[in-house]
Amino acid sequence: MFNKKLKKNIIAAGIANCLLISPVYAANWLLLQGTEPEDAAPRIKMWGFIQAQYQKDSSDPNGAGGYIPPKLIGPNLSSQQQFNINRARLGARGAGFPLDGKVNYFLLTEFGNNGITAPGDRNVRVTDASITLNHIDGARIRAGLFKTPGVEEGLQAIHVFDYINFTTVTNQLMLERFPNRSYTGNNPPVTLPGPAQLGGFEKSVGAFRDVGIQVFDTFKVNDWEHSYAVMYGNGNGLNFGDNDNNKDTYLYWSSEQVYGGKGGRREGLKLFAWTQSGKRQLDNTNDSIHNPQEFDRDRSGAGVKYLKRPWRVSAEYMTGEGMIFVGPDKPTFDINGGGAGADGSNGEASGWYLEGGYYIPGTKWEVDLRYDVYNRLEGDNFEFEFETVTYGAQYHINKKTRVNMEYADRSAEAVNFATGAGPNANLDGVDSRFAIQLTHIF
């Protein structure tokens, strides 16, 4: 364990050194996803992308031959290796020109097999449906279903994401799992082969989206571009309606020194910060009485993105209080079901990542390296620590098609328990994961 941690610390230090000496895709996602060029955008532009992938997990089962979800491939969690159409999205966007070029729309649907469509076996799901009004200088208004201003891995366009899998902190802390209407406990580890019988979510993941209204805009001062967003939403993810009388508030700010380029590959230095706050209804007591209670859900973070080819580097730190998903199976927020400790409904967590890439001059190859840490239920007897080093490579076949390959060296432990004791009886054996993904944009 000491040698493994030493190796990861050395890698993290190496990336940090690149951040200090090297010239991330510093794109303005608020404008790219929420607006169209006035009097220049078509009435309708069909677009989309497909991502086909293969993943293989090398984790070992527990002493009884059982597997928990971190050792299986999602979203089905029925195998340690799987081919999958992870995403297949089709959308339309455009503006009302010549009637009114200041009004534009954004529509996107998901046909792939992932946390959006797998719960309830939904074959297709609307992920974005919004209208933007650009009539007020300094205060564009966007209404409908769209990405919330927040964590960079969630806000950016997924088809230009430099990795296949999210960092653990983004996946567990920010990719929201919504509780079922009634208390739902965890399943025990399962033995393969055969159906894992894992899951049990009544709702899809939040997919970093919400239904609401947002005021936002960008201001240019010399070669700096300052952006803000204030959003007020249901706090109910992709679900069109609300499930309670509470609302979520989202605040976002970024300042970017623009070097050149455009779109999702624009070069520059971007500093950003964000915060989100709301409440959730949760029946967190393992009894026969349906008695949901109200819990706060707060998230915040800050980061930096820097791109000047051939180098790319980014980092982000984020924290959370309340509604900490502890699973690992079922939409669970208390491992012990009301017992001592392990209660994520009022728990705290934090994490960060540091990553970099190098686009090899004169070739179509790009190499990537990422280190991420997630500390879940900090200060609790059941505190967990997840660490991952991801080695990646990308081959850009053309501007619309690329292949991603990554190897993730993972570790997970309950820090207050000895090896093989308590939660570590199942966490021991979490190991490497290989993934390869082909992306085509059309």
Would you kindly state where each structural domain of the chain is located, as residue ranges?
2-441
Dist CA 153 CA 174 (whole Å): 9
Contact between 97 and 46 (Cβ < 8 Å) = no
Amino acid 19: pLDDT: 35
Most confident option among 56-60, 291-295, 324-328, 423-427: 56-60
Dist CA 91 CA 129 (whole Å): 10
* Residue 311: alpha-carbon gap to chain centroid: 23
Amino acid 196: pLDDT: 55
Contact between 179 and 185 (Cβ < 8 Å) = no
Contact between 168 and 386 (Cβ < 8 Å) = yes
Amino acid 337: pLDDT: 64
Rounded mean pLDDT, 216-229? 95
Amino acid 339: pLDDT: 60
Rounded mean pLDDT, 375-400? 96
Which tops the pLDDT comparison, 149 or 336?
Answer: 149
3-state helix, strand, coil in the chain (%, to 5): 10, 45, 45
Which tops the pLDDT comparison, 3 or 2?
Answer: 3
- Using the 8-state DSSP alphabet, how is residue 178 labeled? P
Q: In the predicted model, is pLDDT for residue 380 greater than 50?
A: yes
Contact between 62 and 428 (Cβ < 8 Å) = yes
User: What's the pTM value of the predicted model, to 2 decimals?
Assistant: 0.90
> Residue 370: which pLDDT band, with cuts at 50, 70 and 90?
very high
Contact between 307 and 268 (Cβ < 8 Å) = yes
Topology classification of domain 2-441 = Porin (2.40.160)
Mean of all residue pLDDT scores within the chain: 89
CA–CA distances in Å: residue 361 to residues 85, 87, 148, 311, 439: 31, 30, 35, 10, 22
Which tops the pLDDT comparison, 86 or 3?
Answer: 86
Contact between 78 and 72 (Cβ < 8 Å) = yes
Which tops the pLDDT comparison, 227 or 6?
Answer: 227
Rounded mean pLDDT, 76-80? 89
Amino acid 285: pLDDT: 79
Q: In the predicted model, is pLDDT for residue 282 greater than 80?
A: yes
- Using the 8-state DSSP alphabet, how is residue 61 labeled? P
Q: In the predicted model, is pLDDT for residue 328 greater than 50?
A: yes
Rounded mean pLDDT, 85-108? 92
Q: In the predicted model, is pLDDT for residue 22 greater than 50?
A: no
> Residue 180: which pLDDT band, with cuts at 50, 70 and 90?
confident
Helices (H) and strands (E) in the chain, counts: 5, 18
Q: In the predicted model, is pLDDT for residue 85 greater than 80?
A: yes
Amino acid 329: pLDDT: 66
Amino acid 195: pLDDT: 59
Lowest mean pLDDT among 84-93, 337-346, 367-376, 414-423: 337-346
Q: In the predicted model, is pLDDT for residue 252 greater than 70?
A: yes
> Residue 221: which pLDDT band, with cuts at 50, 70 and 90?
very high
Helix or strand holding residue 425 (H, E) = helix 424-427
Helix or strand holding residue 277 (H, E) = strand 267-282
Cis peptide before 328 (omega within 30 of 0): yes
